Structure 1
Amino acid sequence: MPIVLVLEWHKRGSADGFSSISLVMPTLQMACWYKYGLITNDPFNIYLNFIQLCISAVFLLSFAYYQPKRTFLVLQLSILGATLYLLFSFVNLFEGHEKVEKMSAMAATAQLLGLIGPVNDLKRAINFGHTEYIPASIQYALLLLNIKWLIYAFYVANHYMLLATWTGFVINVLTIGLYFIYPPLTWKVPIIGTGPQEKKIE
């Protein structure tokens, strides 16, 4: 998933214009669900979120490399680290089932907060009148991930995860819908086929 976007940054020679919030916020929820997996000894949560965290790290390092203005990114990562430390310290105050419940609620809350990035992307696309900085490959991958997590949350009957994932799924679908209303400026959306707008601008 990140390779396509990294190649796009390489092609442009810069990641300027792309939002770092959409990269940092999902890391918060991944870390929280990873911690939840460790507490519950759930291999599915542990391994999948570990892989996603590794991918996120590659993503963030690549973004930092191609982003000429890194101050905001460094600030966001510092806040992320402090937030995770405080959350995990709080959860570790509890034991047994109560600890599991607290971490599950915290992870779901983090997942909902992680939607700040996608909502920000929606707002930016509407304001700009295009979806140039919302890679379709990422949206399609997120759609598959959301469907997978919805099935898993339903299977394990985790209502916290189900609510948070369903909300993310709805925003994901709305974002993909923007490709029809506000196509990208310089590229054609795979599968959907809308864009580019540049001919209209000329």
Structure 2
Amino acid sequence: MTTESTGPEPVLVVEDVGHVLGGSARVLQDVSVQLSAGEVLALVGRSGSGKTTLCHLVAGLGRPTSGRITVGGTDAHDVDDWALVSLLPQRLGLVEELTVEQNVLLPSRLRGADDTVDGALVEDLFAALDLTAFRDRRATQTSLGEQQRTALARALVLRPALAVLDEPTGHQDDEHVALIGAALDVARRHGVAVLAATHDERIIGAADRVVTLAAGRVVPD
């Protein structure tokens, strides 16, 4: 499938990006991708293909060695607001002493703006991700799969322009993968652009577009 968005003005523009780690290990080369509001793009490829590196660069956790990444016209590395770009990392980063609900709402609390949270969206996420029964438990009192779904809800709770999801089903058993797909549908309805690095065929099937990386390059259609 095409790497360019076919919708309105793209939220995410990755333009001719290359990246080198440790001064010599080239992990990305000439990568270009676009993504528009309300689109879900699955980023696929074997382990070591560069998926996680690209996710981290899009989320602003580093600058590419060459090329440019912008979100909403702003350099991704200069974005420091989860209302614009959020991340579901493989290392979930939940605050252990907080409850599930407190972890989900943490991006809003850190912004000092509780009124930025859409209550209906919160309830949609809790229902879609089957977290309602656990919302008052501490994160440490839930399973790893429940913790990952909590982190996913946290990534979507501010209805960001772009959500970057690194292996969002990595801790889900077969019974719960469908819940991740349901959350992607919620994000899509709320206009969130989603970049999901994944190996899971069910998430790939739920995506609007698929981009494949191999040895750090986009595989042509």
The TM-score with structure 2 as length reference comes to 0.28
Higher relative contact order (CA 8 A, sep 6+): 2
Structure with the largest fraction of strand: 2
Structure whose alpha-carbon radius of gyration is higher:
1
The TM-score with structure 1 as length reference comes to 0.30
Structure with the largest fraction of helix: 1
